[in-house]
């Protein structure tokens, strides 16, 4: 076997080996779903597949520790592992896959163009040949043969052009669809899957931009950190599903009260961050008091009963941007005032001078 053949054989064997591994891992994942009686949904499959694949040791460790502590994986455990360890990785993988598909479509377009150019050159060559032969044609039959050949070439050229145009149209549609999917994946990578608001990564990027803009323009900027009071007690007493509903309720109330340029993000666990550009400290304080009151007045239905969970509160720490402050400075000061709000009895807003 020569080197070229060996290279082709190895290239074709590599995907096959990779595919076998995927199938093996998939079967193991399904076996674990059945063994541990976990719900057979996409998130569960993603967690178990990542576990058996073993490429991310964090997933393996987290699953092993959870099973050791509780004897299995609850839907809440699966959701937490997926959210914390797999969402971003899944997004990166999806972006990579879509990117490869776009590259493939672009390569196809280039091939179509190359074919079109080649056909055009071939037809041009036929015309040149006819031009050279025409003066030497002494009979009607010779001329008829030349015309017939040109007509055949022209017909072939027209059919090829139609096919190429259709191929270009199909590729254009496919690339547009892939670009839309890529935008959706990128958006999802910046969203918290539970509350549908921005996640920590989106918050970090946005705060960096706002602090830089405030430093350059002198525009007002405020940042608040919020924490739902006694949230562990809510989970322990009513279950994680009710806890998730409370988080969603808080995110919804904040979203309804902030302005278009403002941003609310899930900072981590039961903690949220609110960026308020072009907002002075007094206005920001009043806004947080309103959000605090609306949240405390809200009710969360308790599944399986006619009861609702009432009087859940939140505490807020608020800081105003001062010249020379960094994003870290703002976060640390907001966290400091949040601690003061908690220490002072919770269900309140704390800021400098308030």
Q: Mean pLDDT per segment of 10 residues, for the chain of length 354 residues? A: 44 48 74 80 78 84 86 80 66 52 56 56 56 54 59 64 64 60 56 85 90 92 95 89 92 92 90 94 95 93 79 95 93 95 94 89
Distance of CA 202 to the CA centre of its chain: 11
Q: Active-site residue 270, yes or no?
A: yes
| pLDDT tens track for 40-54 | 677 777 788 888 888
pLDDT given at position 350: 95
pLDDT given at position 346: 93
- Domain ranges for the chain: 3-73, 96-189, 200-350
pLDDT given at position 116: 53
pLDDT given at position 50: 83
pLDDT given at position 8: 42
CA distances from 76 to 79, 106, 145, 240, 349 (A): 5, 42, 80, 7, 31
Long-range pairs of 232-238 with CB within 8 A, sequence gap ≥ 24? 234/309, 234/312, 238/302, 238/309
pLDDT given at position 324: 92
CATH code for the structural domain at 200-350: 3.30.70.270
Rounded to whole angstroms, the Cα distance separating 93 from 107 reads 21
pLDDT given at position 58: 84
pLDDT given at position 16: 46
Round to the nearest angstrom and report the end-to-end CA distance of the chain. Answer: 82
**DSSP for residue 192:** -
Q: Is this structure's pTM higher than 0.75? A: no
CB environment 245-269: b (16+ within 10 A), e (fewer): bbbbbbbbbbeebbeeebbbbbbee
pLDDT given at position 102: 53
pLDDT given at position 148: 61
What 3-state class would DSSP assign to 350?
strand
Tokens of 100: 């490869």
Selecting among 183, 270, 299, 332, the annotated active-site residue is 270
Tokens of 309: 């969970």
Rounded to whole angstroms, the Cα distance separating 323 from 317 reads 19
pLDDT given at position 71: 81
> What residue has token string 């053949």?
5
Rounded to whole angstroms, the Cα distance separating 38 from 218 reads 54
pLDDT given at position 330: 94
């Amino acid at each position: 076997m020569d080197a070229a053949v060996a290279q082709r054989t190895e290239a074709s064997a590599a995907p096959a080996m990779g595919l076998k591994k995927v199938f093996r891992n998939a079967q193991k994942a399904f076996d674990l779903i059945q063994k541990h009686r976990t719900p057979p949904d996409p998130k569960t499959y993603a967690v178990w597949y990542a576990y058996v694949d073993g490429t991310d040791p964090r997933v393996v460790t987290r699953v092993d520790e959870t099973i050791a502590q509780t004897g299995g994986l609850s839907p809440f455990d699966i959701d937490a592992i997926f959210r914390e360890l797999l969402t971003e990785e899944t997004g990166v993988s999806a972006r990579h896959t879509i990117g490869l598909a776009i590259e493939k479509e672009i390569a196809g377009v280039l091939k179509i163009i190359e074919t079109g150019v080649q056909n055009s050159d071939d037809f041009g060559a036929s015309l040149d040949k006819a031009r050279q032969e025409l003066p030497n044609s002494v009979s009607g039959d010779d001329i008829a043969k030349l015309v017939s050949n040109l007509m055949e070439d022209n017909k072939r050229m027209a059919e090829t052009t139609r096919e190429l145009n259709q191929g270009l149209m199909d590729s254009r549609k496919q690339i547009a669809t892939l670009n839309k999917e890529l935008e959706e994946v990128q958006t999802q990578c910046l969203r918290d899957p539970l509350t549908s608001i921005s996640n920590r990564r989106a918050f970090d990027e946005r705060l960096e931009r706002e602090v830089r803009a405030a430093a350059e323009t002198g525009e007002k900027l405020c940042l608040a950190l919020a924490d739902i009071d006694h949230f562990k007690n809510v989970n322990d007493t009513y279950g994680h599903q009710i806890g998730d509903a409370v988080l969603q309720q808080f995110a919804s109330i904040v979203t309804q009260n902030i302005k278009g340029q403002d941003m609310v993000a899930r900072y981590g666990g039961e903690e949220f961050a609110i960026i308020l550009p072009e907002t002075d400290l007094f206005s920001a304080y009043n806004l947080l008091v309103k959000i605090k009151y609306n949240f405390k007045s809200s009710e969360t239905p308790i599944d399986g009963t006619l009861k609702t969970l009432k009087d859940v509160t939140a505490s807020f720490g608020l800081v105003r941007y001062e010249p020379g402050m960094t994003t870290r400075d703002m976060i640390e000061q907001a966290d400091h005032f949040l601690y003061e709000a908690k220490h002072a009895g919770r269900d309140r807003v704390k800021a400098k001078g308030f």
